[in-house]
């Protein structure tokens, strides 16, 4: 990161006084040891007219892992091979607070009046992670008085065909107090980064509110920033948003709205209302269809199985998933149930893209929030295995309605609801896929919305209900 200060004509101070504000002597190269590597401060230029301070992080991925908390990644190689050494991540925010802590708090014993002065500043960040695209950085920094110039970085300059990466080169120009500029970076860099490298504690809220003092409560994107800064930790996000709303003199009704917004957009991991609605719709439809023997394909951790066993008419329930870990959780869930429930459930590890003779002869199969996890080129294999080979009398498929995503304020445009999703179809896309599958395999199909539908964008979840066409008879 480079911070450049230019002296306006006639100013009583000189640009090199930036060194006083940052408490770092422009004449020296300084190194600060950090838990994750080292931070260097150098001044490529320090004259009366212009002064640039550069903060360079040298990140040691091995130390980052040993130093505790790793990246928030489950992929073990990802702990060592990641963007941390190259991008302006939450680690840069940490460095700003440790290396430039006094400046961040706006204190300067030698030049107190300069600390209070709005200075012409330019901040350059060579690589900022930004999955929301150029428009997102504009939405974040422009309301704070920055002129934003962001340039997308190529994935690999040697292969222009590969397109752009999720990183941008960012240049911010504006006139403001240095401390204010640093607090913007301190809050917004981790928000853009999205993955914090250490565990959050309750005092993160205080840090956020302190750094955001004077600007965050009035920022149009304050909800998004708060969620991302707190890395989506529900309880913390809710408290922080409520406190921010108080700063703004919000009415109790507005506070309720904030809470509801949090519930809606970032469902709590335990009982997301939409997941409840989805299971209810699936169970109701299976009962209407009179299904007795049911397959839950891609059953995951068994939340639907847990509801199916409550209904005695489902005499045989088979859960299939490719994930051994998920099946283990489902197994434990079943073990806690009374015998009359548990004995009707069988769990089975398998990939839905391969034909499995043991899945034949069922009344119904459920694919709840599963197809969007399959790579599009593999979907045809799943269709053959489920509709062609297993060929149950009915198939229920639920999947996100991509059109609805625009209503999730916390979801940047073009992003999916879940990092593992390969696609999120519009109603038209899902419709044409489902109709083609039905035609190819002798089913009829109808569609049902799940969750509160929006007039324009439809429901959050869409469900297709396939029934084997009676005229087709039994598949061979
Ligand atoms: N149906 C559950 C889980 C949805 S998550 C629910 O609605 O809560 C998607 C699930 O599909 C995951 O558990 C994943 O392991 C499983 N899955 C993804 N691809 C699969 C495949 N090719 N074969 C079997 N299961 C798969």
What distance in Å separates the CA atoms of residue 57 and residue 38, rounded to the nearest whole number? 6
Contact 216, 222 (CB under 8 A): yes
Distance 352 CA to ligand 1 centre (A): 9
Q: Give the pLDDT confidence score for residue 166 in this predicted structure.
A: 83
Chain center to CA of 388: 36
Q: What pTM was computed for the model? A: 0.50
Protein residues with CB under 6 Å of any ligand 1 atom = 298-300, 303, 321-323, 326, 351-353, 368-370, 373-374
Distance 319 CA to ligand 1 centre (A): 10
The 3 state secondary structure assigned to 332-390 is HHHHCCCHHHHCCEEEEECCCCCCCHHHCCCCEEEEECCHHHCCHHHHHHHHHHHHHHH
What distance in Å separates the CA atoms of residue 226 and residue 140, rounded to the nearest whole number? 12
Cβ count near 4 (within 10 Å): 20
Q: Which atom of ligand 1 is nearest to the CA of 323?
A: 15
Contact 367, 395 (CB under 8 A): yes
| Residue 7 DSSP class | P
Distance 330 CA to ligand 1 centre (A): 12
Q: Which atom of ligand 1 is nearest to the CA of 374?
A: 19
Distance 343 CA to ligand 1 centre (A): 23
| Residue 72 DSSP class | S
Q: Give the pLDDT confidence score for residue 62 in this predicted structure.
A: 66
Closest Cα to atom 12 of ligand 1: 300
Q: Give the pLDDT confidence score for residue 31 in this predicted structure.
A: 94
C-alpha distances in angstroms, 61 versus 81, 94, 190, 408? 7, 16, 18, 34
Q: What is the largest CA-CA distance in the chain?
A: 91
Contact 51, 18 (CB under 8 A): yes
Ligand 1 pocket: which of 370, 383, 396, 460 to mutate (most atoms <8 Å of CB)?
A: 370
Distance 124 CA to ligand 1 centre (A): 43
What distance in Å separates the CA atoms of residue 68 and residue 407, rounded to the nearest whole number? 37
Q: Give the pLDDT confidence score for residue 61 in this predicted structure.
A: 67
Distance 300 CA to ligand 1 centre (A): 5
Distance 336 CA to ligand 1 centre (A): 22
Distance 151 CA to ligand 1 centre (A): 37
Decide: residue 356, CB within 10 A, 0-12 exposed, 13-18 middle, 19+ buried: middle
| Cα atoms in the Cβ-side hemisphere of radius 13 Å centred on 321 | 25
Q: Give the pLDDT confidence score for residue 2 in this predicted structure.
A: 97
Ligand 1 pocket: which of 273, 282, 322 to mutate (most atoms <8 Å of CB)?
A: 322
Q: Are strands 119-129 and 50-59 parallel, antiparallel or unpaired?
A: unpaired
> Going from the N-terminus, what domains does the chain have, and what CATH number goes with each?
2-198 (3.30.1610.20), 274-472 (3.40.50.150)
Distance 448 CA to ligand 1 centre (A): 21
Q: Give the pLDDT confidence score for residue 241 in this predicted structure.
A: 67
Cβ count near 3 (within 10 Å): 25
Both tokens assigned to 448: 């049902």
Distance 391 CA to ligand 1 centre (A): 19
Contact 64, 73 (CB under 8 A): no
Series of mean pLDDT values for 10-residue runs along the chain (476 residues): 95 93 93 86 96 91 54 49 70 88 91 94 92 85 95 84 86 96 92 62 77 90 84 63 56 43 40 76 96 97 93 96 89 88 94 95 97 95 97 97 86 80 95 97 96 91 93 56
Q: Give the pLDDT confidence score for residue 202 in this predicted structure.
A: 61
Closest Cα to atom 16 of ligand 1: 298
Q: Give the pLDDT confidence score for residue 270 in this predicted structure.
A: 35
Closest Cα to atom 3 of ligand 1: 300
Q: Give the pLDDT confidence score for residue 364 in this predicted structure.
A: 98
Closest Cα to atom 11 of ligand 1: 298
Ligand 1 pocket: which of 298, 328, 397 to mutate (most atoms <8 Å of CB)?
A: 298
Both tokens assigned to 98: 């440790």
What distance in Å separates the CA atoms of residue 263 and residue 250, rounded to the nearest whole number? 19
What distance in Å separates the CA atoms of residue 121 and residue 232, rounded to the nearest whole number? 32
Q: Which atom of ligand 1 is nearest to the CA of 382?
A: 22
| Radius of gyration of the chain measured on its C-alpha atoms | 27
What distance in Å separates the CA atoms of residue 56 and residue 91, rounded to the nearest whole number? 11
| Residue 192 DSSP class | H
Which of 378, 416, 380, 386 minimizes the C-alpha distance to 399? 416
């Amino acid at each position: 990161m480079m911070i450049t200060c230019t002296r306006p004509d006639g100013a009583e101070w000189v640009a090199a006084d930036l060194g006083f504000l940052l408490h770092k002597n422009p004449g020296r190269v300084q190194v600060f040891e950090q838990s994750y590597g080292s931070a260097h401060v150098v001044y490529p230029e320090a004259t009366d007219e212009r002064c640039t301070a550069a903060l360079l992080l040298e990140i040691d991925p091995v130390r980052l892992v040993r130093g505790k908390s790793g990246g928030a990644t489950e992929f073990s190689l990802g702990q060592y091979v990641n963007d941390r050494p190259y991008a302006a991540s939450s680690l840069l925010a940490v460095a700003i607070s440790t290396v430039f802590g006094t400046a961040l708090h706006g204190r300067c014993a030698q030049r107190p009046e300069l600390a209070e002065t709005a200075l012409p500043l330019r901040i350059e960040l060579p690589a900022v992670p930004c999955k929301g695209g150029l428009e997102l950085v504009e939405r974040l920094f422009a309301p704070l008085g920055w002129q934003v110039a962001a340039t997308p970085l190529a994935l690999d300059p040697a292969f222009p065909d590969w397109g752009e990466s999720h990183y941008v080169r960012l240049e911010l120009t504006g006139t403001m107090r240095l401390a204010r500029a640093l607090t913007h970076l301190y809050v917004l860099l981790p928000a853009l980064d999205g993955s914090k490298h250490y565990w959050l504690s309750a005092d993160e809220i205080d840090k956020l509110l302190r750094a955001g003092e004077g600007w965050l409560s009035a920022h149009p994107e304050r909800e998004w920033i708060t969620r991302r800064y707190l890395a989506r930790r529900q309880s913390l996000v809710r408290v922080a948003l409520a406190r921010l709303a108080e700063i703004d003199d919000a009415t109790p009704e507005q506070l309720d709205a904030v809470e509801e917004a949090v519930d809606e957009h970032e469902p709590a991991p335990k009982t997301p209302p939409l997941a409840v609605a989805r299971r209810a719709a699936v169970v109701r439809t299976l009962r209407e269809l009179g299904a007795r023997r049911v397959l839950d394909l891609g059953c995951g951790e068994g939340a639907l199985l847990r509801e199916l066993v409550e209904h005695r008419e489902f005499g045989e329930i088979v859960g299939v998933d490719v994930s051994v870990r998920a099946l283990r959780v489902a197994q434990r869930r079943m073990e806690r149930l009374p015998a009359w429930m548990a004995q009707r459930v069988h769990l089975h590890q398998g990939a839905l893209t391969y034909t499995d003779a043991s899945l034949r002869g069922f009344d119904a199969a459920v694919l709840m929030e599963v197809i969007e996890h399959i790579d599009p080129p593999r979907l045809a294999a799943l269709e053959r295995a489920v509709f062609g080979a297993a060929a149950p009398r009915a198939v229920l498929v639920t999947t996100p309605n991509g059109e609805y995503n625009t209503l999730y304020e916390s979801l940047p445009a073009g992003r999916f609801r879940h990092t593992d999703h390969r696609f999120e179809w519009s109603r038209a896309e899902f419709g044409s896929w489902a109709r083609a599958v039905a035609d190819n395999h002798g089913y009829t199909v109808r569609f049902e919305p799940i969750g509160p539908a929006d007039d324009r964008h439809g429901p959050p979840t869409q469900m297709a209900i396939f029934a084997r066409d009676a005229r087709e008879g039994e598949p061979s």
